[in-house]
Amino acid sequence: MTNIILLLILYAGFAAEYAVNRFLARHLDLDGLGDFNVAVSLATICSMLFVSGGDAASNRFIPRYLEQKEWGKIKGYIVHYLKLSLLISVCASICSLAVDYGLRYYRLDKLLHESYFAMILAPVLSVFTFLGGLLLAMHREYASSLTTELLKSLLFLAGISAWMLFASSINEYEAIGLLLLSLSLSVAVQSWAAMKSIPFDFYRQKQTLCIPEWRAVGKPMLIIGLANNFISVVELWCLEVFYNGEETVGAFSLLVFISSIIWINYTAFYYFLSSRIAVMEHDSSTMRKSYLGAVLWLAVINVITVSLLAYYAELILGWFHQDMVVYTPWLWFILIGTAINSVLQLASPFLRFGGYEKEDSAISSRILLLSLFSSPLLICFFGVEGAIVSSVLLLLIRGLWYSFRLRRLHGISLV
C-alpha cells in the first residue's frame, strides 16, 4: 500500500512539473526560457556539490543511529552537513565574482544571467535537497516525497498563476524569484516535518561528530549523483553539438520525457527501500527477500505502464506534435528498454546503502566515461536513432553491471 501511495504522489508531482514547464513555455520567450532552464540545471549540479553527498549518505547512517538511539550522532550529522553546504555556498559565491569578472572581460555578458541565477538558487536548493534526503532516512517517505516531488512544483505553479493575475507578462528574473520563494517555503515545511520526526530534544542534545566516517561514504555518494546526472544529459548535449538539426534535439527530448514516466515507478521503490537497506546490511536473507520482492512488483507495474503508453503511443506523440508520429517505433523501443533498465537499476540502492557505495560509484563513473566516448560516435553516424540506442544500451550495461556486482558481493541475484 505504501508503494501505491508513493506512486500516486510521484505521478502527481510529474503532472505538476509538466504543468509548470507548459506554463513557462507559454509565457516566457525562448531566450528567457533557455536562461531559466540552464540556470536551474546549473543550480542543481551546484547544490549536489554543496551538500557533498550528505543527502544520500544519510540513508547509510541515520536509520542505524535511530535503531541504536545514538541521538548525538543524528544531531551532529544534521548540523555538520547544513553548516558545510552553507559554507561552501558562501565560498562559491565569492568565486562567482571572479567568474563575473572573466565573463565581462571576454564580453560574455549573456552568460552572467545563468551565473547569477544559479548562485541565487543553489544555497536554498542544497538545503532543500539535504532535508529531503534526511526525511527519507528517518522513514518519512510521504513527507519526503510530498515536499521534494510535489509541494515545490505546486507552490511554484501557484506563484506564477498569482503573478499573472496582477501582471500581463513574466520574465526569467521574476520566474527565478518565484522559484526561490517556492523553494524557501518548501524548506520551511521540510524543517518543520524533520523537527517533528526527530525523537529527541534537538536543541538540548549534545552533538557527536564522526566526520571521517561520514566523508568516506559521502564522497562516493556525491560521485554517484553527479555521474548519473551527467549520464542523463550526455546524448542531448551530443545531439546539440555533433548533429545538425534542432528538430532532432526536440524529438529526442520528447521521447525521453515520455519514457521518464517509467522511472517514476522506480523512484517510488527507491523512496520505500533506501532508508531500510542500511539496517539489513548484515541480514542477507531479509535483503534478498526485499530485493526480489521489489523486482517482481516493479516489473509488474512497468509492464502495465509500458502497455498503456505503447498502446496510445501515436496519440500521445501526435498530441505533442504531429511530426512526432513517425517516431512511434522508437518510442516503443525506448519504453521497453527503460522498463528493463529500471528493474535492473534496483540493484544500485542495495549496493549503495548496503555498504558498497564505492563499487557503485566506480560503476557509475565508468559508464559515464563510456558514454562520453560512444555517444558522439553513434550520434555522428546515426543521428537521433543513435542517441536513442546509445541511451538505452548504456543504461542496460549499467544495470547488468550493478546486478552482477550485487550477486558477487551480497550473494543476491534475480535467478
Domain count, the chain: 2
Q: Is the dihedral of CA 364, 401, 149, 56 positive or negative?
A: negative
- Residue-wise pLDDT for 321-346, tens only, equals 777 788 888 889 999 999 999 999 99
Measuring CA to CA, how many Å separate 136 from each of 243, 350, 353?
Answer: 41, 16, 13
Which H/E stretch holds residue 188? Answer: helix 172-197
Confidence tier at 188 by pLDDT (50, 70, 90): very high
Prediction pTM value: 0.83
Whether 201 and 232 share a structural domain = no
Q: Is the dihedral of CA 368, 89, 95, 105 positive or negative?
A: positive
Single out the residue in 175, 209, 243 at which a domain terminates: 209
* Nearest by Cα to 306 from 327, 337, 328: 337
Is the pLDDT confidence value at 307 over 90?
A: yes
The amino acid that residue 116 corresponds to is: Y
Whether 125 and 27 share a structural domain = yes
- Residue-wise pLDDT for 249-297, tens only, equals 667 777 888 888 899 999 888 888 887 887 776 777 888 888 888 899 9
What φ, ψ does residue 244 adopt, rounded to 5°?
-80, 135
Whether 278 and 247 share a structural domain = yes
Whether 380 and 291 share a structural domain = yes
Taking the alpha carbons at both ends of the chain, their separation in whole angstroms is 26
* Nearest by Cα to 71 from 192, 194, 213, 202: 202
Whether 268 and 139 share a structural domain = no
Whether 186 and 235 share a structural domain = no
Can you give the pLDDT at residue 8? Answer: 87
Can you give the pLDDT at residue 380? Answer: 75
Is the pLDDT confidence value at 202 over 90?
A: no
Non-local CB neighbours of 224 within 8 Å, separated by 6+ positions: 56, 352, 357, 360, 361, 364
Can you give the pLDDT at residue 373? Answer: 83
Whether 288 and 199 share a structural domain = no
Whether 334 and 197 share a structural domain = no
Whether 203 and 265 share a structural domain = no
Is the pLDDT confidence value at 246 over 70?
A: no
* Nearest by Cα to 19 from 180, 147, 152, 203: 152
Whether 191 and 264 share a structural domain = no
Q: Which domain holds residue 172?
A: 1-209
Whether 180 and 244 share a structural domain = no
Single out the residue in 180, 209, 238 at which a domain terminates: 209
Whether 255 and 380 share a structural domain = yes
Decide: 152 and 183 in contact? Cβ < 8 Å. Answer: yes
Single out the residue in 174, 209, 244 at which a domain terminates: 209
Please compute the mean of the pLDDT values over residues 18-32 and round it to a whole number.
Answer: 74
- Residue-wise pLDDT for 28-67, tens only, equals 765 666 677 767 777 888 888 888 888 888 888 898 898 8
